[in-house]
Structure 1
Amino acid sequence: MRKSIVEPLVEALRTVLPPVGAVSLHEPCFTGNEWNYVKECLDTGWVSSVGKFVDRFEEELASFTGANCAIAVVNGTAALHVCLLLAGVLPGDEVLIPSLTFIATANAVSYCGAVPHFVDSNERTLGLDPVKLEQYLAEIVDLQAGSCYNRKTGRRIRAVVPMHTFGHPVDLDALVDVCERFCVELVEDAAESIGSYYKGKHTGNHGRLAALSFNGNKTITTGGGGAVITNDEELGRLAKHLTTTAKVPHPWKFNHDMVGFNYRLPNLNAALGCAQLEQLPRFLAAKRQLFETYHGVLRGFEGVRLMSEPEFTRSNYWLQAIILDECIADQRDIILERTNARGIMTRPCWTLMQNQPMFTECPRMETPVAQSLERRLINIPSSAILTDVAR
């Protein structure tokens, strides 16, 4: 009979965390200029979607990520929706996304009237597996006049959307090659990966468009918020126009030249984001230190692996994750119960998209790795404030 690792694991986690009180999975850290910048918005009355902090946040975000343009929007899902529209995704198209992802990835595809097409993940990166994807597409698609078609459904496959799970970049070079071979657009769901790099280049710069998120539980937060980033300046201008109700600039007339969206980020939120960006290097250092501390106390646990950054990447370690071997996967739920009962917030991975009731009829490849990870993965407390670096 296998020995239970539950109690030793709980005790090991507790040595890293505060000895008393509840510990959240991830909480924001407001120790910089947040109060000053938000107060300036209130004092001046610039609280809506126009103001100096919106412009500043976009400029500094572009500078940090290395992108030519950053367009701040109300949340990461809105950002991804706009990215897909600008990538040419039309109603009836298919978009390849990992089954192991947050629901927003699939929802954004659905907002376009398109169909999510689910693919498997890679054990090492937790993200979309480009090797399996290439083999799969070679079996099911036809290339016609520079477009990719699913011969089983007859629908065009327009784009592929990798999601950098918990901040760990996927194998982007291999994925770019797949996209070029099969004539599909690469749109990065970089919602979780601000501060993550693949071979020295920030995530979000490997396709024409990418989406970031600044939700309250992200590495930096604007409360709610997101951004489109792109190196195509024309797409950047169009993204800003589309997210500002497609209003034609004029001192007083309300003319609009396309169906647009009221997606712009308010100045209040951008003020928070500017203050958070100032502290981002410190947050990243704190999260890396937290990973090292966890690694030190967990390395002796047989059958437990702490997720580490894949080769050729530098992860932001947004959410720390432990992965159980298959032989002890049946202890996952007990670990979740015991940790939460002890005030240590943990959670399982997301339910696979292919098992969500609204997506069960969507096309998909076989997903053995995603299904296995779903059974074995546990997120553990990951806040930057859990280390001395961010306090």
Structure 2
Amino acid sequence: MANKRQEKRFVPLSKPQIVQEDIDIVTKVLESGRLSIGPYTELFEKAIAEYVGVKYVAAVSSGTSALHLILKALNFGKGDLLIVPSFTFVASANVALYEYGSVTFVDIDPITMNMDIEHFKTIVEENFNKFRRIFLMAVDVFGHPLDWDKINIFAEKYDVTVVEDSCEALGSEYKGKKVGTFGVAGAFAFYPNKQITTGEGGVVVTNNEKIYKMSVSLRNQGRGESQGWLSHDYVGYNYRIDEMSAALGWSQMQRLDEIIEKRAKVAERYKALLKDLPLELPVVMDYVTKMSWFVYVVRLPQGTPSAVRDTLIRKLEDEGVQCRNYFAPVHLQKPYRELGWKEGMLPVTEDISQRTIAIPFYTDMEQEDQEYVAEKLRIVLETLLK
């Protein structure tokens, strides 16, 4: 890395890859005049189903919508418990509260930042006779798959219903099998910082016909099969994806493997550029046969106060390097504090959350920008960690 002062530049936290084929297909939809409930929704669903290896896919308006519909289709509600990591996006937990179910949080593994499986087992054993049913919202955080063999053997023993939140992990594989397929149903999301984007959008993926049919009905105001457009069997939602978004998603699916490969190269460059800095870098476990990188999150040394992390982010922003803390613990957000959660209840989550920094990461990131990020990190860290 060059030691000479680099000219100041702006490096965004994320940036979607939009190519001419994407623009052309969206323009084609606009020109067709059919902007909702059209052929590209079906094409997009088929592309996801074939890629992931499932029978059924229902495209919806967001990953949150997908998770909500899965719980709704499973009749999750009062008397049920959802176990979910606090180190995730808030929607992973919120969808349980939509249906008036109970939520409890599981701590995380300090290496992968995925759910601590031993803590999960303890929670299940402690609550086994206290609830009608127990559900697990299993999050493949930052694209890294969970250790699914360990989870599913235990879940089956205790009749835990597993829903896979793979919203950040499209394309990742655990022992050769695509994520999103290890629970009764899974969800992917396509916000602009994801591997592929639809602008806003998500999908339910499942081999369970009932979940699929309920998701299709509920996303479209609860309309029944083969009924008129104003006939409704259920109290549903407007969770449909529009045709422009579906067409964009279908176009991007045509090059998903190429996108994943490019993102892996960006991650490898960061690993080399940052290896000598006082940071904990992401670790990919040996059971991961394909890692689909979502973000690149580094951690300051253990014991570093969150105020140092916040100062680091501020100083990097001043140098044009856009960064964010990733994630803030869900259990310490106001709605969950009001349910009794407080500091000290999930020590690993709380420790790691105050040390994390998501640095710029996207598919077409140039090496020069990565070198700029690494150099600015080095300079600011030398000042802050004296």
Q: How high is the sequence identity, in percent, across the aligned residues?
A: 28
Distance change in 2, residues 1:233/1:251 (3 Å): closer
Residue 312, structure 1, aligned to residue 299, structure 2: no
- SS of 1:174 mapped into structure 2: helix
Verify the 8 A CA contact 1:87 1:209 in the aligned structure 2.
no
Q: Which residue of 1 aligns with 2:40?
A: 53
- Structure 2 match to 1:271: 247
Contact 2:133–2:160 (8 Å) recurs in 1:
yes
The answer to whether the Cα contact below 8 Å between 1:247 and 1:254 also exists between their aligned partners in 2 is yes
Give the structure-2-normalised TM-score.
0.88
1:188 is paired with a residue whose SS is strand
The answer to whether the aligner puts 1:340 opposite 2:327 as a matched pair is no
| Higher deviation after alignment, 92-101 or 205-214 | 92-101
Offset from partner CA, 1:248-304 (integer Å, 9 cap, x none) = 3457562211112221111111011111111211211111101111111111124x1
Q: Deviations over 1:94-123 (max 9, x none)?
A: 211001111111221111111221110111
Residue matched to 1:384: 363
Return the offset for 1:329: 4.9
Query: Are the counterparts in 2 of residues 74 and 265 from structure 1 also a CA contact under 8 Å?
Result: yes
Q: Displacement, 1:88?
A: 2.8
Taking a change above 3 Å as real, the CA distance of residues 280 and 183 of structure 1, as seen in their structure-2 partners, is: same
Equivalences for residues 51-200 of structure 1 within 5 A: 51-138=38-125, 140-143=126-129, 149=130, 155-200=131-176
CA distance in structure 2 between the aligned counterparts of 1:238 and 1:83, rounded to whole angstroms: 9
Equivalent residue letter for 1:57: F
Instruction: Give the direction of change, closer, same or farther, for the CA distance of 1:163–1:251 in structure 2 (3 Å limit).
Output: closer
Distance 1:253 1:78, change over 3 A: closer
Structure-2 separation of matches of 1:328 and 1:250? 60
Q: How does 1:321-340 map to 2 (within 5 A)?
A: 321-329=297-305, 331-340=308-317
Change (3 A) 1:250 1:335: same
Q: Which one is further off, 186-195 or 120-129? A: 120-129
Asked if the contact 1:204–1:211 (Cα under 8 Å) also holds between the matched residues in 2, the reply is yes
Does the alignment pair 1:373 with 2:360? no
C-alpha contact (below 8 Å) 2:70/2:211 kept by paired residues: no
1:137 and 1:249, CA in 2 relative to 1: closer, same or farther beyond 3 A? closer
Measured after TM superposition, the shift of residue 130 of structure 1 is 1.2
Is 1:356 aligned to 2:344, yes or no? Answer: no
Distance 2:66 2:246 in 1: 15
Quote the Cα distance in structure 2 between the aligned partners of 1:213 and 1:374. Answer: 23
**Aligned equivalent of 2:23, options 21, 31, 35:** 35
The AA in structure 1 aligned to 2:353 is E
TM-score, normalised via structure 1 length: 0.87
Q: Given residue 83 of structure 1, which amino acid in structure 2 is its aligned partner?
A: I
In structure 2, what residue type is equivalent to 1:307? Answer: P
1:156, 1:128 → 2: CA distance? 23
Letter paired with 2:39: K
Structure 1 gaps, min length 5: 1-7, 144-148, 150-154
The one of 171, 186, 210 aligned to 1:234: 210
Q: Which runs of 4+ in 1 moved over 6 A?
A: none
Q: What pairs up with 1:206-221 in 2 under 5 angstroms?
A: 206-221=182-197
Cα gap change, 1:234 to 1:142, in 2 (>3 Å):
closer
| 1:342 to partner: Cα distance | 0.6
Structure 2 gaps of 5+ residues are 368-386
Which amino acid counterpart does residue 31 of structure 2 have in structure 1? D
Cα deviation, 1:219-253, whole Å, max 9, x if unaligned, reads 11101000000012332222212212221345756
Once the two structures are superposed, what CA deviation does each residue of 1:168-189 show, in whole Å capped at 9, x if it has no partner? Answer: 1121211112322222210011
Quote the RMSD (CA, aligned, Å): 2.2
Q: Measure the CA separation in 1 of the matches of 2:43 and 2:228.
A: 25
Q: CA deviation at 1:332?
A: 1.9
* CA pair 317-22 structure 1, distance change in 2 beyond 3 A: same
Q: What is the letter of the counterpart of residue 12 of structure 2? A: S
Alpha carbons 1:131, 1:174 under 8 Å: kept: no
Does the 8 Å CA contact 2:74/2:211 hold for their aligned counterparts?
Answer: no
Distance 1:260 1:327, change over 3 A: closer
Answer yes or no: is the 8 Å Cα contact 1:115–1:362 preserved in 2.
Answer: no
Contact 2:77 2:96 in 1 (8 A): no
SS at match of 1:305: coil
Change (3 A) 1:37 1:184: same
Cα distance 1:230–1:250, how it changes in 2: closer, same or farther (>3 A)? closer
Rounded to whole Å, the distance in 2 between the matches of 1:362 and 1:92 is 16
Report the Cα distance in structure 1 between the residues aligned to 2:314 and 2:264, rounded to whole angstroms.
Answer: 27
Question: 1:152 — aligned with what?
Answer: none
Deviation, 1:157, is: 4.5
